[in-house]
Amino acid sequence: MQEYDLSQWVLFFFLYSFLGWIWESCYVSIKEKKLVNRGFVTGPVCTISGAMVVLIVTIPVRDNILLVFLMGMIGATILEYFTGITMERLFHVRYWDYRNLKFNVRGYICPLASLCWGAFSILMVKVVHIPFEHMVLLIPVTIADILAFVLTIAAAVDFTQSFNEAMDMKRILVQLEASKEQIQKMQERLKDASEEMQDRLKDASEGVQERLKRASEGVQERL
C-alpha cells in the first residue's frame, strides 16, 4: 500500500477539488443552460471533496474491488449527508436535493446517489487515481511542500472571504424571511379589517333599508 506525506495529500486534495469543480460546474451549467460556478469559494475548487473521502477510506482495501465499492459508497454517503445538513443550517441554502428520488433521507442522500458513489469509487481508485498518483509522486519533496503551502494559503484566504459573503447572504435571507412574515401579517390584518368593514357596511345597509321600509309603510298608512 502506497503511503503519502502531508504535502502529497494536500496536492491530491487540490487536484481532485479542481476536477470536482469542473465536473459539478459543467453538469449544473448544462442543466441550468447557463454558466454556473458550482463551488462554495470563488476559486475553481470544490472545498468538500468526495473524491478525497473515497481515496482515504479505500486506501486500506484498494486491492479488493468489492470493498472499494462498499467503503467508498458508505464514506461518500456519510459525507454527503452531514455536509448537506451543515450547509443548509449555516447558510439556509440547499446545494443538492434528492427529495424527488425514492427512499431519500430528508433530500440529502438516497440509494441511487449512494450506488453512484460506489461506482465512482471503483473508477476513482482503479482508473483515475493511478496516473495522478504517479504524477504527484514524481514531484520533488521540496517543490511539493512549497506548492502545498502556497495553495493552502490561497485557499484559506478564499474560503474566509467566501464564508463571510455566505454569512452576509444568510443575514439577507433571514431579513427577507422576516419581512415576508411581516407582510403576511399585514395582509391578514387588512383582510380582517376589510371583512369587518364589509360586515359593518352590510349592517348599515340593512338598517337603512329597514328604516326606508318603515318610512314607506308609514306614508302608506297615512294615505
pLDDT tens column, 175-189: 566 666 666 766 777
Residue in the block written with cell 442543466: 31
* Cα distances (angstroms) measured from residue 5 to each of 95, 148, 222: 32, 11, 114
d(CA 157, CA 123): 33
- The closest alpha carbon to 13, from 58, 45, 60, 59, belongs to 45
pLDDT tens column, 134-146: 999 999 999 999 9
pLDDT at 170: 59
Confidence band of 72 (pLDDT split at 50, 70, 90) = very high
Return the sign of the alpha-carbon dihedral for residues 1, 74, 79, 111: positive
Q: Could you tell me which residue, 72 or 29, shows the higher pLDDT?
A: 72
Lowest mean pLDDT among 23-27, 78-82, 167-171: 167-171
Confidence band of 111 (pLDDT split at 50, 70, 90) = very high
Confidence band of 69 (pLDDT split at 50, 70, 90) = very high
* Cα distances (angstroms) measured from residue 84 to each of 21, 101, 216: 17, 16, 75
d(CA 109, CA 66): 21
Question: Quick one: how many helices (H) and strands (E) in the chain?
Answer: 6, 0
- The closest alpha carbon to 122, from 54, 53, 24, 49, belongs to 54
- Beta carbons within 10 angstroms of residue 209's beta carbon: 10
Q: What is the pTM of this model?
A: 0.63
Summarize the confidence of residues 12-34 as an average pLDDT.
79
Percent of the chain with pLDDT over 90: 29
Mean pLDDT of the chain: 79
Cell numbers linked to 162: 467566501
The yes-or-no verdict on residue 47 having pLDDT over 90 is no
Cell numbers linked to 59: 486506501
pLDDT at 163: 66
Confidence band of 18 (pLDDT split at 50, 70, 90) = confident
The yes-or-no verdict on residue 199 having pLDDT over 70 is no
The yes-or-no verdict on residue 9 having pLDDT over 70 is yes
The yes-or-no verdict on residue 51 having pLDDT over 80 is yes
